[in-house]
Every structure is written in structure tokens, then in C-alpha cells.
Amino acid sequence: MTARGLEGVIAGTTQLSSITDGVLTYRGITIDELTAHASYEEVVHLLLFGTLPTRAELDALRQRLSDYRPLPAGLLSILRGVPRDAVPIDTLRTAISALGFYEQRPSDTSREVSLDKAIRLIAQVPTIVAAIERLRRGLEPVSPPEATDTAHAFLLMLKGTAPDEVEVEAMNKILVLHADHEFNASTFAARVAAATLADMHAAVTAAVATLKGPLHGGANAAVMAMLQEIGDVEAVEPYVRAKLARKERVMGFGHRVYKHGDPRAKWLREMSRRLSERSGEPKWYQMSARMEEVMRRAKGLFPNVDFYAATVYHYLGIPSDLMTPVFATSRISGWTAHILEQYADNRLIRPRAEYTGPTSQPWVPIEERG
Ligand SMILES: CC(C)(COP(=O)(O)OP(=O)(O)OC[C@H]1O[C@@H](n2cnc3c(N)ncnc32)[C@H](O)[C@@H]1OP(=O)(O)O)[C@@H](O)C(=O)NCCC(=O)NCCS
């Protein structure tokens, strides 16, 4: 018996994150504890090194991330050459692949070199995403600020002005919540690539390619597009009911693993509510809350991480088609940690397929076909 979509299949072991009885943990610490208390940099340390950092370790990691944030001049030239109307997640995928050119040991998969590449990628992806957005708007990229945390640095590089405390807190929580998620599709793709002993940049490129799809990382952009199409709170229920009647999917709902609700969603709902109150545009949150209620009644489905993330991103001034790249600015920590874990105890990932095509077919010469 094959498991369609590998549902329920345990495809390997990990010590990075777990989803047990609907509770998500990173190295045994619940996502609720981490979202309430941790900086993203503490989570990066937890994922890459296995422990929460001491003060000295955290300071050292912050400094290293800050040092690594600037992009090679060659990469900036590549970004400047990208067509203005390119889809941002495609540009990010190309940029990460191209970043590998600037590594001194591009094909080296040793722990020491790969860990250094991992930290550099975690530092550089936010810089790339901010630069992609500015360049396509005809603006110059903003140089990375020194000695600031990722949340602050990213928002500053994106907008060109210093973010306020509420925005930084929301961005930090977004980064913590999206950092890792067991064997999700993009992480699994990264591990499959890493298991061939392809290098860090190759494996992360496979992950970004996989994140693009609307059934995975692309759902947040689809949610915002849907809310914009609906337009106001009163139109939510008829829209959802008509969509369900046509047997179409409502983006941002349902999950392969969480069948009783995604533990990350409540944090994002609260952030969306808070940001909506100061935005002058409360309707996006109000429409989302109404949609959650209608989907629960009509289909028994709960919002996943992407549903309220869409409005949080919107309130932070992040355009819809940049939402999936912003997801990647955080998930890069999980991808790289999984790639390191794969290298540390590697075996090629090569499952079998059940053949369902025709059998015992004779060879027919080309003149006799038709
Ligand atoms: C995430 C997702 C791909 C998981 O899919 P899956 O585990 O393969 O679930 P299934 O496709 O087997 O769906 C099970 C049932 O729920 C329904 N369902 C699942 N998600 C749904 C959604 N978003 N809208 C409407 N119905 C949905 C399916 O139609 C199916 O109903 P049925 O049994 O009446 O046919 C799926 O829920 C989905 O497409 N969600 C929307 C995209 C999204 O938000 N992705 C981000 C994930 S974090």
C-alpha cells in the first residue's frame, strides 16, 4: 500500500522540532514558550547548536549575523539585472543559488564549512529579500545596519526608515513562529538534496523552489489576494460558501498534520488584531476573523500558520507577493539546521515507487505505430 502524499509516513529522525498531539516544539521547548519569550537569534542558536545561548554565545551570534549581512557586490549586480516584474520568490531562489558562487569552498559539506555557510545564509536572506523589494520599486537597497537583531534590520532595510517597537516585536514573533516545522515539504526537499551530499546552497535552493507552491509557502499570498478580492466583512460568508460548494479550497485553512488547529495561528491572530487597531484598516483582520468562524462552522477546518500571517505581513507593509520570501527569511534557519543534521548522519534518501503503468508491452517499430 502506498501512502498518498506520504501521509503519516515517518521518513526519518530529527532532534530539531516535533509535532506531538498538536503541540509544536523546537528541541523540546514549546512554540508558545518561545514565541512569548525568545528572540529569533536565540531560536537560531537553539536550532543550529542544540541549546539556548548563554549571554556570551548570543552576543557572539548576533555579531556574526551582523557581520555577514552585507551581500557580495556580484550578487547585487545579479539582482539589479532581474526584470522588474519577476516574481520575488523566483528572484530569491535564483539569488540563493547564485550566492554559492561567492563561497570559498562551494562544494564542501563538512560540518565546519557548512555551519559557517548556514549562518551566512541566515544573515543574508533578509538582506536579499529587502533588496528585491526595493529594486523592483526602483529604489536603492539599504545597507544592513550594524549590531541590530534580524527583525529590526529586516524592516529597516525593507522600508528605509526605522521600525517602531510594535512592528519589531511582531516581526520577531513571525520569525520565531516560522523557523522550523519538522518534515514540511520544503524542509524535506532540502534533506533529499543534502542526502545526495549536494552542498548547502544547492539544498537550500531546492527548499526555496518547493516553498513556492500555493499548497505550502505560497498560501499566505493567496490568502491576502482572496481577502482583497472579497473586499468587505459582509461578503465573507457568501464567498466562502460558494467556494466550498464548488469544492474549491479556501487558502490558509487545513493542514496535513494539525487536524484540530495549528498552534501558531493564535499568536498570529493576536498580532493581526493588535496591528489592525493602529492601522486604520481594521477590515482585513475583521474579515479574517469572520472567515475563521465560517470555515469552522461549514467545514470543521481551522486556520493554519499562513492565514493570519497574511494580514500581519500586510499591516507590516509587506506586499502579497513578498510574503513567501519573508516566510523564507525565517525558515532559512530551519532548512539549514536540517541540512546540517542530515549531513551529520547521512544516508541517501531514495524510496521506491509502486508501478501502475502497462506491463508486457511489445516493442513496435516506428513504421508500424499509429
Ligand atoms: C494544507 C493542505 C494541502 C493539506 O492537505 P491534505 O492533508 O492533503 O488534506 P486533504 O487534501 O486530504 O483534505 C482533507 C479534506 O479537507 C478538505 N480541505 C482541506 N483543506 C481545505 C481547504 N483549505 N479548503 C477547503 N477544503 C479543504 C479537502 O477538500 C478534503 O475534504 P473531503 O474529505 O470532503 O474531500 C490543504 O489543507 C490545503 O490545500 N490547504 C489550503 C492551502 C494552505 O493553506 N496551505 C498552507 C499549509 S500550512
Q: How far is the CA of 256 from the centre of ligand 1 (A)?
A: 7
Ligand 1 site, residue 215, Cβ cutoff 6 A: yes
Residue 355 within any structural domain of the chain = no
Asked if the structure places residue 52 within a domain, the reply is yes
Pocket test for ligand 1, best of 255, 262, 294 (most atoms within 8 A of CB): 255
> Do 42 and 155 belong together in one domain?
yes
Catalytic residue among 152, 181, 201, 255: 255
Task: Quick: pLDDT tens for 1-59.
Answer: 789 999 999 999 999 999 999 999 999 999 999 999 999 999 999 999 999 999 999 99
Check whether residue 77 and residue 189 sit in a common domain: yes
Q: CA–CA separation, 255 vs 212, rounded Å? A: 17
Residue 20 parent element (H or E):
strand 17-20
The domain in which residue 141 lies consists of 16-213+321-344
C-alpha 248 to ligand 1 mean position (Å): 10
Mean pLDDT of the chain: 96
Residue 59, in any domain of the structure: yes
Kindly report the CATH number assigned to the domain that includes residue 333: 1.10.580.10
Domain assignment of residue 9, yes or no: no
Which residue in this structure is represented by grid cell 552585507? 70
173 and 224 share one domain: no
Same domain assignment for residues 147 and 250: no
Question: Does the beta carbon of 217 lie inside 6 Å of ligand 1?
Answer: no
Mean pLDDT across the stretch 291-298? 97
Mean of the pLDDT values across residues 131-159?
96
Pair 204, 336: CB distance under 8 Å? yes
Q: Whose CA is nearest to atom 22 of ligand 1?
A: 249
Ligand 1 binding pocket includes 125 (Cβ within 6 Å): no
Residues 201 and 231 in one domain: no
Radius of gyration of the chain, Cα coordinates, nearest whole angstrom = 22
Model pLDDT for residues 83-141, shown as the tens digit of each residue = 999 999 999 999 999 999 999 999 999 999 999 999 999 999 999 999 999 999 999 99
Shared domain for 94 and 47, answered yes or no, is yes
List pLDDT tens digits, range 329-340.
999 999 999 999
- pLDDT of 370: 87
For 208-263, what is each residue's pLDDT tens digit?
999 999 898 889 999 999 999 999 999 999 999 999 999 999 999 999 889 889 99
Model pLDDT, residue 122: 98
Residue reference for cell 530539531: 16
Q: What is the pLDDT of residues 51-94, one digit of tens each?
A: 999 999 999 999 999 999 999 999 999 999 999 999 999 999 99
